[in-house]
């Protein structure tokens, strides 16, 4: 990074699911993401941790889940990531609506953002003003609100589409944004700005339940670039179908230390660095209660499995490796969906 206090964008988003097989089937087969890591929750080894991403597990593409089967249904509300949005290539939303019909996915009518008359740019000359975009909102089988946003994917885009179930011209290409519902956005905005995100525009947002005004902040990188903020006091609770935390990229340890110090100077209390095996992490609960993580780019998902074999087996990091038999016995069996053409190659 040129400026150590500027994040390139979202690194991953971690959510709470119920049934692990249902979660796997939806995110791999219906949405076409690649299972890049099948592991356990390092704080609760009786629970899986699934990582769904692009073909190479590029930072900015992985949606991860803890399938906590015994937990109650959650409710999206204030102090949470309320929506997680993915990029899809321009012109692909018809394909996705047809696919959602075929698979029985619960989706809403498309929404236009930042194209209407209520939209105001923030007025700077950065060239980062939000462009008009079309959004297809839907829910996963646990009721998690997700969106597909049609965007122009540049030729040099860092993401690599996974094409086992969805063809390249329609495939999901990493995160577009997260939306935060906040009772008192001002102090969270201060955190986002400390992390190098800049306000780029605002508009009235009739498509959102508590919808007042949507303000967009942009990070420096090409993927997972946006954080949208909406003020709301609508109460929520954590459980199935809610986001657990959002992680932002701090590519190197030095970047992470600088960012951690900057956040701490606001009066927040970040954790020390924790080794998450595929990246190193710092966690901080920001002023409105949303759990943020800072995650390094390395060592990455290919540090313990070859690229071709990602997700093929249960990976038990570090000290958990000695307890494989016991841990496997405590987990529900799951099958990774395979396309028929892929099976024929085996």
Min CB(283)–Zn ion separation in Å: 8
Closest CA to 140 of 18, 51, 228, 224: 18
Percentages helix, strand, coil for the chain (3-state, rounded to 5) are 20, 35, 45
Query: DSSP per residue over 162-224, as a string?
Result: --SSS-TTT---SEEEEEEEESSHHHHHHHHHHTT-EEEEEEE-TTSTT-SEEEEEE-SSSSS
Give the nearer residue to Zn ion in terms of CB position, either 47 or 232. 47
* Of 49 and 119, CB closest to Zn ion: 49
Nearest to Zn ion of 13, 85 (CB atom)? 13
For the bound state, the minimum distance from the C-beta of residue 64 to Zn ion, rounded and expressed in Å, comes to 7
Q: Which residues bind Zn ion (CB under 5 A)?
A: 14, 247, 293
As measured in angstroms, the least distance from the Cβ of 277 to Zn ion is: 11
C-beta of 157: minimal distance to Zn ion in Å? 23
Closer of 99 and 280 to Zn ion (Cβ)? 280
Which one, of 201, 336, 287, lies nearest residue 346 by Cα?
336
Residue closer to Zn ion, measured from CB, 165 or 278: 278
Least distance to Zn ion, CB of residue 12, Å: 6
| DSSP annotation of 285 | E
Cβ-contact 226, 211 below 8 angstroms? no
């Amino acid at each position: 990074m040129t400026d150590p206090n500027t994040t390139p964008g979202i690194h991953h988003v971690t959510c709470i699911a119920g049934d692990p097989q249902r979660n796997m089937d939806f995110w791999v087969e219906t949405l076409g993401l690649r299972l890049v890591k099948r592991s356990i929750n390092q704080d609760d080894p009786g629970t899986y941790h699934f990582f769904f991403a692009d073909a190479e597990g590029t930072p900015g593409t992985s949606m991860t889940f803890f399938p906590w089967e015994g937990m109650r249904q959650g409710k999206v509300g204030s102090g949470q990531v309320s929506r997680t949005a993915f990029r899809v290539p321009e012109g692909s939303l018809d394909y996705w609506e047809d696919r959602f019909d075929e698979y029985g996915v619960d989706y809403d009518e498309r929404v236009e953002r930042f194209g209407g008359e209520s939209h105001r740019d923030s007025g700077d000359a950065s060239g980062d003003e939000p462009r008009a975009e079309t959004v297809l909102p839907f829910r996963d089988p646990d009721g998690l609100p997700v969106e597909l946003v049609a965007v122009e994917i540049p030729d040099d885009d860092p993401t690599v589409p996974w094409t086992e179930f969805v063809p390249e011209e329609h495939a999901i290409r990493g995160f577009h944004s997260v939306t935060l519902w906040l009772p008192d956005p001002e102090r969270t905005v201060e955190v986002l700005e400390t992390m190098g995100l800049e306000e780029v525009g605002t508009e009235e947002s009739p498509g959102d339940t508590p919808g007042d005004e949507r303000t967009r902040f942009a990070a420096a990188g090409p993927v997972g670039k946006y954080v949208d903020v909406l003020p709301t006091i609508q109460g929520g609770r954590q459980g199935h179908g809610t986001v657990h935390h959002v992680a932002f990229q701090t590519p190197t340890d030095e970047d992470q230390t600088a960012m951690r110090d900057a956040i701490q100077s606001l009066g927040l209390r970040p954790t020390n660095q924790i080794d998450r095996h595929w990246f190193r992490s710092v966690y901080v609960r920001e002023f409105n209660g949303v759990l943020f993580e800072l995650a390094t780019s390395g060592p990455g998902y290919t540090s313990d499995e070859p690229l071709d074999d990602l997700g093929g087996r249960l990976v038990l990091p570090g000290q958990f490796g000695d307890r494989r038999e016991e841990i496997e016995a405590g987990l529900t069996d799951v099958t990774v969906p395979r396309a028929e053409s892929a099976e024929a190659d085996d």
